[in-house]
Amino acid sequence: MTGQHRLRGPRKPSESRGVMDMGGAKRTYTAVVLVAVAALIAGLGIWAGRSEDPESSGNSLPGNAASGALPTGPCAPTDALVPPCGAWWGAHVPYAENGSLKDAVLGFEKRIGRKLDLVYNYHDMSGTELDGQLLTPDEQELGKDRLLMLAWESTVWTEPHHENWTETQLGWKNIASGKLDKEILDPQIRRIKAYGKRVFVSFDQETDARIKEGAGTPEEFVAAWRHLHDRFRELGADNVVWVWTVSGYLGSANDMKALYPGDEYVDWIAMDQYNYYQCHDTSDWKDFLRSQQPSYEWLRANVTDGKPVMLAEFATAPDADNPLRQRDWYTQIPAAVKKLPEVKALVHWNRPTSEKAACDLTVDDGPGLEGYREAGKNGYFHQPVPPR
């Protein structure tokens, strides 16, 4: 099942940013978040750790990161951050064991032999500094010479950085109604506005999988997306590039089609497709093109053909019987992706989906690293990254 929502799979404790919050600190985090959620649902109008005044809450707004001259010439990115001459090379990298995203990204870049164009990170709507604050200090530091993509989920994670993937859904209808604007949405929108530099934002990525998780109906999602989009505009945060992300699993075709907010509300469309191979108990090895092309073509034919496409998560599982298969899967990407000409960003999902060796999607060592390093050298993935 290529469309199975891998974010809900089990994780090793060492993969979680929560390893730095042991014992009482972790319990306190959980208690505070759960109390805040209960209060919100009860309509009491409070939210743990948030304030309209950033100074009073101890959370200062980010500094304006927009600086320097924009690239010029035929390969200069568009206003929507589309690179005309190639594609962005990005990754989602889990936090380091010391709790640092910066250390994790720099370590990953050292292994792959290049700087990432795009760093993809996830946040909930708790408002906590650990998980619910968009543009953390680490993200701001990394964003100085990289693009950032922030996945903002309309949930509150029970444990720090979603350690066991348990959460409370806030509900798309509650977002669409505006009742969460003042305490939850607006403080984060102001942070992005203050940052100034353009950022990719994906609201409730893999949204088709969230219907069964209780987030709401497709109609409620469309209303929530449009409300969030309009709220950014109302507050003057015009430095957002909107990325609509679905799983790409064609078993959810009807839902994906119904979930699209409309071209005027979306800048990019994105999907998360993998070669899971034996991780999902199949014997069908899909090369890069076969893992991506069916969903790519379906989205362009049935949702929109006027937007660039992002592979917001992609990776291959290994083949224990033929380890070099994983290397070759990655080395084939530069040639294969040109057969998907509207794919303008590729974001590797660099973490296992379970403790099974067959589900290790990382390229931290071995043949996978060798192939990924080679693919990343290709000139197609070396485009001028804008500083603003």
- The DSSP secondary-structure symbol of 64 reads P
Local confidence band at 39 (pLDDT 50, 70, 90 cut-offs) = low
pLDDT on residue 42: 53
Percent of the chain with pLDDT over 70: 85
Q: Which carries the bigger pLDDT value, residue 214 or residue 41? A: 214
Portion of the chain with pLDDT greater than 90, in percent = 80
List the catalytic residue out of 139, 159, 183, 206.
206
Instruction: Please list the residues that pair with 272 across neighbouring strands.
Output: 313
> Range with the lowest mean pLDDT among 42-51, 109-118, 264-273, 339-348?
42-51
Q: Exactly one of 109, 159, 167, 313 is catalytic; name it.
A: 313
Angle 186-195/218-234 helices, nearest 10 degrees? Answer: 50
In the prediction, which pLDDT does 130 show? 85
> Is residue 324 scored above 90 in pLDDT?
yes
Structure-token pair, residue 228: 């969030």
pTM (2 d.p.): 0.89
- C-alpha 276/C-alpha 316 separation (Å) is 6
Average pLDDT over residues 225-243: 98
Dist CA 339 CA 336 (whole Å):
6
For residue 9, what pLDDT band results from cuts at 50, 70 and 90?
very low
Residue 97 is a catalytic residue: no
The reported pLDDT for the residue numbered 37 is 54
C-alpha count within 13 angstroms, C-beta hemisphere, residue 273: 23
Q: Which residue has the tokens 């990019």?
A: 268
pLDDT at 151 over 70: yes
pLDDT of amino acid 185: 98
Out of 17-21, 208-212, 290-294, pick the least confident: 17-21
The CATH number given to 6-381 is 3.20.20.80
Instruction: State yes or no: pLDDT of 1 exceeds 60.
Output: no
Which pLDDT does position 23 carry in this prediction? Answer: 42
- Range of lowest pLDDT (33-37, 92-96, 208-212, 353-357): 33-37
Mean pLDDT of the chain: 88
Q: pLDDT at residue 273 above 50?
A: yes
- Alpha-helical (H) ranges within the chain are 24-41, 54-57, 101-112, 137-142, 172-177, 186-195, 207-210, 218-234, 253-258, 288-302, 324-331, 333-337, 366-376
At 309, give phi and psi (nearest 5°).
Answer: -115, 135
Q: What is the CA radius of gyration of the chain?
A: 20
Q: Using 50, 70 and 90 to split pLDDT, how confident is the model at 5?
A: very low
- CA-nearest of 118, 114, 109, 115 to 81 is 118
Given this model, what pLDDT does residue 40 score? 55
Instruction: Report pLDDT for 162.
Output: 75
d(CA 191, CA 184): 12
